[in-house]
Amino acid sequence: MRVLFMGTPKFALPSLEKIYRHFELIGVVCQPDRPAGRGMRPQPPPTKVFALERHLPVYQPATSRELEDVVLSLKPQCVVVVAYGKILSSKILSAVPYGCVNLHASLLPKYRGAAPIQRALMAGEKNTGITVMLMDEGMDTGDILAQETVSIEEEDNLETLSEKLSHKGADLLLQTLQRWFRGEIEPVPQKGEPTYAPPIQKEEFRICWKATSESVKDRVRGLYPNAYTLTPEGHRIRILKVRPVEGTGEPGEILSRNRLVVACSKGAVEIQELITPKGKRVRGEDFLKGYSLKNFL
């Protein structure tokens, strides 16, 4: 089976490796190189690195028209999409005999959109999952080929849950594709009320201490490692891990000099790990030894 893979970030790598091992992988399509790091030099996506190391053709179309030209010229029997980052046109969808099969990190129709893992964690969900679906012209609205539920553990954050879902998703994707190609699966329309997972906006990364302690905890988990707060002087502190504790005070007030306990609108949180304004990762109680603060903004 001639398969064209479309995917860009680290999340797509386990699925890409399964396709590479089990099918005739005719190429990898990913987003263009983006500036990153201190020097802001263009960096290749993880899937591009994987492909080049194995001497696979790599395509990085900058426009929808270029993407159409790539797919139509390669004539794949199936297109597999994992976190590629663009909706495919009807021209592409109708040109592929076995369709465009997408792995999505939620139990559709819940959390359609670009940030399903972040939004599930931020909402305090106890379970999420993965869906293998046939793509249509909508945003994550296609018929379902397979689904699997995945528990969200108390210690999970964006990094750990993404890793878990990427590997479980790759396994389910491979099993589903093998059955799909053998004609053993009947696609099923999505059922239930859809919810949405829009991209994370810049302002959402800043912790609002007027929220409840549970909400703060979930936001830190969902935006790991980039949730932050500000000191009264305007210095940014990235918060990596918190736990709800008892405490009462004005939102943002630091309630203890032994542990870094911060008041919320309801309850408080102990900041267990953070990154200082100088970029050093420290425990909350150690941070207090070097900084004299009364509150966060």
% of the chain at pLDDT higher than 70: 100
Q: Are 238 and 227 in contact (CB under 8 A)?
A: yes
Amino acid (1-letter code) at residue 126: K
CA atoms within 13 A on the CB side of 118: 17
pLDDT in tens, 39-89: 788 999 999 999 999 999 999 999 999 999 999 999 999 999 999 988 899
- Report CA dihedral (114, 157, 233, 255) to the nearest 10 degrees: 140
How far apart (Å, rounded) are the C-alpha atoms in residues 94 and 90? Answer: 6
Please check the confidence at residue 38 and state whether its pLDDT lies above 90: no
Q: State the binding site for (6S)-5,6,7,8-tetrahydrofolate.
A: 106-109
Residue 6 φ then ψ, to 5°: -125, 120
* Pairing verdict, β 268-275 and 281-283: antiparallel
pTM: 0.95
Q: Are 143 and 190 in contact (CB under 8 A)?
A: yes
What pLDDT is attached to residue 290? 82
Retrieve residue 133's tokens. 């679906």
Please check the confidence at residue 37 and state whether its pLDDT lies above 80: no
How far apart (Å, rounded) are the C-alpha atoms in residues 7 and 49? Answer: 12
Please name each of the domains of the chain with its CATH number: 2-181 (3.40.50.12230), 202-290 (3.10.25.10)
What are the counts of helices (DSSP H) followed by strands (DSSP E) for the chain?
8, 14
Retrieve residue 209's tokens. 């201490």
How far apart (Å, rounded) are the C-alpha atoms in residues 28 and 286? Answer: 46
Other residues' Cβ atoms within 10 Å of the Cβ of residue 138? 10
Classify each residue of 214-239 as buried b or exposed e, where b means 16 or more C-beta atoms within 10 Å of its C-beta. ebbbbbbbbbbbebbbeeeeeeebbb
pLDDT in tens, 87-102: 899 999 999 999 999 9
Q: How many Å from the N-terminal Cα to the C-terminal Cα in the chain?
A: 56
Q: Mean pLDDT across the stretch 212-232?
A: 98
Q: Mean pLDDT across the stretch 145-150?
A: 98
How far apart (Å, rounded) are the C-alpha atoms in residues 103 and 119? Answer: 17
How far apart (Å, rounded) are the C-alpha atoms in residues 106 and 138? Answer: 16
Residue 36 φ then ψ, to 5°: -155, 165
For residue 38, what are the contacts with CB-CB under 8 A and spacing of at least 6?
none
How far apart (Å, rounded) are the C-alpha atoms in residues 41 and 35? Answer: 5
Please check the confidence at residue 129 and state whether its pLDDT lies above 80: yes
pLDDT in tens, 254-294: 999 889 999 999 999 999 999 999 999 999 999 998 888 89
What pLDDT is attached to residue 105? 98
Q: State the binding site.
A: 106-109
- Burial category of 73 from C-beta neighbours within 10 Å (exposed 0-12, middle 13-18, buried 19 and up): exposed
